[in-house]
Structure 1
Amino acid sequence: MLMLEFADVSKKYKVNSWILRHISATMKVGLFTIIGPNGAGKTTLLRLLAGILEPSSGKVLLNGQDISQDYSQYKQRLGYLPQEFGFYPEMTGREFLHYMARLKGIPSSLYPCRVKEVAHCVGVTNFLDRKVGGWSVGLKQRLGIAQAVLNDPDILILDEPMVGLDPEEKLFFWNYFFRLSRNRIVIFSSNILGDFITFSDGVLLLVKGEIRFYGCIQELIDLIVGKVWIVHVPVEMVPLLAKTWAISGIHSTDTLCQIRIVSDTLPDILGVEPGEPRVEDAYTYLVR
């Protein structure tokens, strides 16, 4: 059984400058999303799971074995897309994928077949013989995803893979990642709650280097049952309400705004009514 675990992991870059503090979680086969505000430690955690960084304390374990004990073997089972991925602009897409295949230790006899397969899966087949320097941002992101899955990894780690993709492309890759995750561990980060995270088997929320929540989407939403309130107010009242209440959503009309408030108690605002909880409400409640 495939199981990736980080146990009591902490990471600091300077004395008393902690990026992550004593976090623990276990991930099995499935699709997992790491969310949280900027600076929460999402990229650092993914780099630790990918073995690029070493924990200041604690361990990252694959099937109970510390990945640092045989990182070369772990790397063969890993696919990784960093947040900022560099390309050689004078290479064609095909040359780049052949180059990455060689770095990943894939036998040269398998290059053509595997490159053709992943290029088709991510939709870059028609661009393979063009120099990467001329590719659009979205196509480069697709190429980055292609190199990450080139070695058919057991563990796929993607740092904000939806950046540069339009809504249709995002839906395509969500479906693609979901299919991949049925027999492997797929982990990615996102700053956008609307990135179809309801498809995830597990959601991990990081805030200031600590885990505020880890579980399924329904468990996240259940945390705020009875804590969501809706009120319609004039536009000019919104800034004033924002100083007092945690606002998770605003929908404007010509003269009024529908405000979603997350609060343990009934807000003392004329016309307020209970609302159905959403992911955005739970995020606001836990991050505030």
Structure 2
Amino acid sequence: MLQQVIDQRRHSLGQLEVGRVLPHRSRRMVGPFVFFDHMGPVQWAAGLPREADIRPHPHIGLATISWLFEGWMMHRDSVGSEQPILPGEVNWMTAGSGITHSERFEQQRAQGGPLHGIQTWVALPDGQEEIAPSFDHIDAADVPLIDEPGLRGRLIAGSALGLRSPVPVHSPLFYFHLELAPGQVLPLPPGEVAAYVVAGALAVGSQTLQPGQLGVFAPGAQARASEPTTLMLFGGEPVGERFVDWNFVSSSRERIEQAKADWRAGRMKLPDADDQEFIPLP
């Protein structure tokens, strides 16, 4: 059975609309996952204005994961990374003590095109919230593959179901993109587990998760695809209470207030390759 079902809430980020399921007033985290946005899908025409871009902004105390089904994004950050993000590749940015980055849609601006993907934040565990910031890019060929009858997908990060990702995670977790055939049973790792349905339908007991819904599983739950289904399966060991304020995550409210003050005062370095504008503190 399901402990909880959360419907996405639609948010407009300029030209981009996202469906957000975490954090939610009734559920702040699943394992260490503290934020989950479904980006798009959207099809942009050539000439997309620069206002559609996500201008430089800061993070502390977390790692971000950008995963694309379709489209293209350019990532630039304050540790010197400049990396195009493509479908099937993993881009893991560890904010730690503080990082700034931007996400630009230059390809769509030049020639048009789609954008469809997921962005998640993972809270860093106690003792590692203030580690040095870093960025890791994993090519699609190095992302572990599940390819079984009725079940196909990728382990984006962490380890579970006999697979281990090369992404340098900081606590026990797992994050899959899975495609299920009708009738296929969804394998569920132990611990805190949730599934977000991108397309299709997932039956869990007498309940059915539809696209745009996040389901948190009770221990011993069984789930089965009712039709061809695409979903994100994630979870892991909890890291303890975390506060979220704007783009900052921490076990300390005081640390978040310091980060807000640092950003407001211009004390956080902007990306070298994208330092002419930024998103002000709300």
Asked if TM exceeds 0.5, the reply is no
TM-score, normalised relative to structure 2: 0.30
**Scaled by the length of structure 1, what TM-score is found?**
0.30
Q: Which has the larger radius of gyration?
A: 1
Structure having the higher strand fraction is 2
